[in-house]
Amino acid sequence: MEADALSVSGAVGDASLKQVTAGDLEIGSVLGSIKLEDVWADTYTKAGLILHTSGQIQKR
From CA 60, how far away is CA 22, in angstroms rounded?
8
Reported pTM: 0.82
Return the pLDDT at 36.
Answer: 92
Q: Read off the pLDDT of residues 1-54 as tens digits, 9 standing for 90 and up.
A: 999 999 988 888 888 899 999 999 998 888 888 889 999 999 999 887 777 888
Q: What is the DSSP letter of 55?
A: S
Beta-strand (E) ranges in 1-60?
2-54, 57-59
